Structure 1
Amino acid sequence: MAPSSPGATGHHQQYSSTGSTGRGVSPPSPASPTRLSQSFYQPSITSSPAGPTSPTFNTGNNHLISSLPGGAVAAAAALKRSAAKLKPWLPAKKFTFKYSPAEYQTAFWSFVQAEHPDTTVLRFLRARKWNVEKAMEMLILALEWRITMDVEEVVQDGEEALDAKYPGFLEQLKNGKVIFRGHDRQGRPLCLLDPSQHNPNAQSHQAVQKLSIYVIETARMMLKPPTETISVLFDMSNFSMSNMDWPTVKFFIHAAEACYPELLGVCVVHKAPWLFGAIWKIISPMLDPVIRAKIQFTNNRKDLEEFVAPDQLMKNKAYEGQDETPYHYIDSIPDENRLLLEPSEAKQRAIARRKEMELTFERLTEVWQGQKQLSSSAAVIQERNEVGQRMADVWWAAEPYTRARTVYHRMGAIHTPPPAPPGIHATKPTESH
């Protein structure tokens, strides 16, 4: 299995887990402090989960669960159960690492964003039904995909700069074929898509790929505690075969399933025409069964309102909702990315503080990994969880210096949330949904 790699640039050393690289560069030694397992967060695991879909916990320290927020001990136990398997797995897997340990580390923390790091890792474990080896491989491939697709370019360049590089990018935001507005009945951010506005020939496939990454990365910034997933709603009422774009469908499926696992809460396909039935027969086998189970079809307002309240639905669309405000793209504001582009002491402090928290979390994880009994890990677990909780506030403090403004920043839909109260975190680890 290999991630999609269009648009890859540059050359990278190939790090093999079992031998030297093709360029004569030896991989990091297992004993080296910069080995992959220490370069980005990798939990220690000591045994397999008891069940096929969810682990069972027998910590012998139930009093700790009530003293830590979000069932942190349970989440910690779920991760730590896996350590013994991972240690022999990396050298035995004969896995060829495409990038340096530092690049994986940077990609991982970029992916974490404002989440608790355990929440990010648990997404991959749940997606692979608690199979540690498969989850680890999935995580590595997802990080390689982020590097290859240059996700940082999308979040740092800004909409106008992306349009200059990939003509047609901006028009995709202006025509309203994909927008964020409102939320579903579960409180999840709502992404509205109108495929009838998509012309496969109006822009390059690369421009569509960059838009897809932009949309997913924007969606993750809209998650508010304790929500970890989004809802997607397709208005298929005016869809025709001229809108069909198979390369984009395949790219988006791969991104959603393999690179952003457990982000989709539900996908509602509304008023699909009869011709979509043939298309669905082709798409359906491509989907992971878990993703396929999240896709619902509705044909009328009553069915749709089981998922989304009418006041969250646009009136001038097939949704027949009550929201009369039309979508309007707000142009970028001069110097809106000044904090990102210009050096400053405040920028250095914010980025340094985030890096300090990352390294502290890694260090505490390594200490925790080395402790054999959970009963002796209580203090480390608590300190580690407190650091993980504070990382959201630190990430948001650095966000204006590391990410370009989007139309949703200008609309006020994305803004720095107030600091989380002690003991509460936006994305506290959960063992399952």
Structure 2
Amino acid sequence: MSNSAPAAVATNDTLPGRVGNLTPEQQHALDEFKELIKAEGVFVPERHDDHYVLRFLRARKFHLGNTHKMFIDCENWRKELGVDALMDTFVFEEEDAVRKCYPRYYHNIDKAGRPIYIEHIGAIDIKTLFKITDEDRMTKQHVLSYEKLIRDRMPACSKLAGRHIEQCCTILDLKGVSLRQFANAFGFIKRTSAIAQNYYPEMMGKMYVINAPMMFTSVWGMVKPLLDEVTVKKIVILGSNYQAVLLSDIDADKLPKTLGGDCTCAELGGDCQKGEPGPWKDSRYNKSVAA
């Protein structure tokens, strides 16, 4: 009879490689990696919980050497950019003006309890954007958005769902996009994609690319090599008839009317983008919101 421990059984639909659904080998890798970073003095208890560490392990298929490099690269990057201080020191005063030429926002949750993140790529005016702000400030704002996602949005979604939520449902709207327009924005999109993949791994649960024009095939060929194969499998490319697919994963009252849902954020002044409704705005789920 084998003395090896049985593989963990998934509970509450926990996906493989997560807390509550680890094989003995994966659990051993997690324990060994945590001991390693503790011995090196880079372990930060309040930030490096098992959920966080497992995202890096999954991103590198539980290979300890590759995970270690990714993890240390991330920690060094955080120190160089001063990420931990951004929440308290960085103020993006140009936010409203930037949204007009680069519309992107969080808006409620999908049926899986994940925050919905929306970008209207076709509305990006990169020339106007960098007259209002600069790339350094945009990068810091982008990073700050991820930090708020981890510190505020995800915990609120987890509390509402009664289980750990650590991934997003992303909608990229290409309505009105041109190849020239995308080419102008490609450099910035490439850099922000690298930040997501290298320093915030395993946080995309699903991505819908909607209103994709015919020329998107060539553009997708440019973007695809920037992403790993696991990420590519999470991406769904849709044309203009996308509403039924979105509504299969998102309740109509959680989806902006401009994207085929029912929400107009009337209670927030009729601006879904500016209001950013969700459990993170509810004091029952987010302790940082005033009751």
TM-score range, shorter chain: 0.7 to 0.9
Counterpart in the other structure of 2:137: 207
Structure 2 alignment gaps of length 5 or more: 9-18, 266-270
Question: Residues 305, 328 of structure 1: CA spacing in aligned structure 2 closer, same or farther, 3 A cutoff?
Answer: closer
Distance in 1 between the 2:7 and 2:225 partners?
Answer: 44
The reply to whether residue 329 of structure 1 matches residue 274 of structure 2 is yes
The reply to whether residue 142 of structure 1 matches residue 93 of structure 2 is no
Counterpart in the other structure of 2:181: 242
Counterpart in the other structure of 1:80: 31
Aligned 8 A contact 1:193 1:235 in 2 = yes
SS state at 1:306 partner? helix
The reply to whether residue 217 of structure 1 matches residue 147 of structure 2 is yes
Of the three residues 99, 118, 127, the one matched with 2:59 is: 127
Aligned 8 A contact 2:102 2:124 in 1 = no
Q: TM-score, normalised by structure 2?
A: 0.73
Structure 1 alignment gaps of length 5 or more: 1-56, 63-68, 91-100, 331-405, 418-433
Question: Residues 110, 170 of structure 1: CA spacing in aligned structure 2 closer, same or farther, 3 A cutoff?
Answer: farther
Deviations 1:40-59 (A, max 9, x none): xxxxxxxxxxxxxxxxx933
Distance in 2 between the 1:288 and 1:153 partners?
Answer: 30
Counterpart in the other structure of 2:88: 156
Distance in 2 between the 1:61 and 1:236 partners?
Answer: 43
SS state at 2:117 partner? strand
SS state at 1:222 partner? helix
Q: TM-score, normalised by structure 1?
A: 0.51
Counterpart in the other structure of 1:272: 212
Deviations 1:359-416 (A, max 9, x none): xxxxxxxxxxxxxxxxxxxxxxxxxxxxxxxxxxxxxxxxxxxxxxx99899548721
RMSD after superposition: 3.7
Number of aligned residue pairs:
254
**Which structure's CA Rg is the greater one?**
1
Distance in 2 between the 1:415 and 1:327 partners?
Answer: 20
SS state at 2:4 partner? coil
Q: Quick one: which amino acid aligns to residue 88 of structure 2? A: Q
1:175 Cα offset (Å)? 6.3
Q: Quick one: which amino acid aligns to residue 222 of structure 1? A: R
Counterpart in the other structure of 1:311: 253
Q: Quick one: which amino acid aligns to residue 97 of structure 2? A: E
Aligned 8 A contact 1:127 1:261 in 2 = yes
Deviations 1:267-308 (A, max 9, x none): 110111223222111111121111111111122212222332
Report 1:35-184 matches (<5 A).
58-59=4-5, 70=20, 76-80=27-31, 104-105=42-43, 108-109=44-45, 111-112=47-48, 117-158=49-90, 161-163=91-93, 168-173=94-99, 177-184=103-110
Aligned 8 A contact 2:105 2:274 in 1 = no
Aligned 8 A contact 2:207 2:234 in 1 = yes
Aligned 8 A contact 1:169 1:207 in 2 = no
The reply to whether residue 416 of structure 1 matches residue 290 of structure 2 is no
Report 1:344-423 matches (<5 A).
411-412=281-282, 415-416=286-287
Q: What percentage of aligned pairs have identical amino acids?
A: 21
Deviations 1:409-431 (A, max 9, x none): 995487218xxxxxxxxxxxxxx
Distance in 1 between the 2:69 and 2:263 partners?
Answer: 44
Q: Quick one: which amino acid aligns to residue 172 of structure 1? A: V
Counterpart in the other structure of 1:285: 225
